[in-house]
């Protein structure tokens, strides 16, 4: 099996066969899958990379996930479905799926990235989106839909009512482990008010990175809000368009 960062001028037959077995899809147009696994750093012309496929794959993924959630969670209003969809199509989740399948090992990157111990999550996420677009272009929407639902099935099952309604600490724990291989830390920064009516300020620290703090009526609420801020900063969630700039 090739190592992540190896540059291919062309995907040879053995590698192509391995990739097709992982994806469960035999390509009629092999040039599509070769392009899907070519990062822009490996080519002189960005049009020869997987960037355009990534653009298309993002749209196909969003449509399939939206349809799946719409049909599976019939009792959920639009706001809850939006939160669930944002989690499932996020860069962190896409990177998680790509790595679980072992796809980054086959990504062709430029020489400057070969020495990297691990490819950034954004590259793994983009690769998955490019693969989705390649399947969609090669065999149509139903083939892409089947691949997405198979790849995301366990994650869709995990998106339950508790997570959708604001268990941001649990969600952050998952993404911090996946993206940074460390657990988030919650730091109490300040507390104000009399004993019977205190409020607390907390922040999240992940791998020495500090995220925007948040205030809450108790420590648990402050930590949930701080976790939400971290998820927004990591582009896992899109900040709700509310007047008070909080998820509550």
User: Is 39 within 8 Å of 110 (Cβ atoms)?
Assistant: yes
Cβ atoms 217, 203 nearer than 8 A: no
pLDDT value at residue 81:
86
What pLDDT score does 109 carry? 83
Residues marked active site are found at: 58, 129
Residue 68 has pLDDT above 80, yes or no: yes
Average pLDDT over the chain, rounded to whole?
84
Question: Each residue of 157-215: pLDDT tens digit?
Answer: 877 645 555 678 888 887 888 788 889 999 999 999 888 788 999 999 999 999 999 99
Query: How far is Cα of residue 144 from the mean position of the Cα atoms in its chain?
Result: 18
pLDDT for 145: 97
pLDDT of residue 238: 66
The DSSP H or E segment spanning 122 is helix 121-139
> Is pTM, for the whole model, over 0.85?
no
In the chain the domains, ranked by start, together with CATH numbers, are 13-158 (1.10.1520.10), 166-233 (3.30.160.20)
């Amino acid at each position: 099996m090739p190592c992540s960062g190896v540059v291919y001028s062309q995907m040879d037959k053995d590698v192509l066969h391995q990739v097709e077995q992982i994806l469960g899809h035999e390509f009629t147009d092999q040039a599509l899958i070769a392009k899907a696994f070519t990062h822009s750093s490996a080519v002189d012309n960005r049009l020869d990379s997987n960037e355009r496929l990534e653009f298309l794959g993002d749209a196909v993924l969003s449509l399939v996930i939206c349809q799946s959630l719409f049909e599976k969670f019939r009792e959920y209003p639009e706001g809850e479905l939006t939160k669930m969809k944002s989690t499932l199509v996020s860069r962190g989740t896409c990177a998680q799926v790509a790595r679980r399948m072992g796809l980054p090992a086959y990504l062709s990157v430029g020489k400057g990235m070969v020495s990297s111990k691990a490819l950034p999550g954004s590259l793994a996420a983009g690769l998955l989106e490019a693969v989705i677009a390649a399947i969609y272009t090669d065999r149509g929407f139903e083939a892409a839909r089947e691949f997405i639902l198979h790849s995301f099935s366990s994650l869709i099952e995990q998106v339950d009512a508790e997570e959708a309604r604001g268990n941001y600490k649990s969600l952050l724990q998952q993404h911090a482990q996946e993206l940074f291989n460390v657990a988030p830390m919650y730091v109490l920064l300040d507390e104000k008010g009399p004993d019977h009516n205190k409020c607390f300020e907390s922040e999240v620290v992940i791998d020495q990175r500090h995220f925007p703090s948040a205030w809450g009526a108790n420590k648990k609420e402050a930590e949930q809000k701080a976790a939400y801020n971290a998820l927004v900063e990591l582009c896992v969630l899109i900040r709700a368009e509310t007047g008070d700039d909080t998820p509550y």
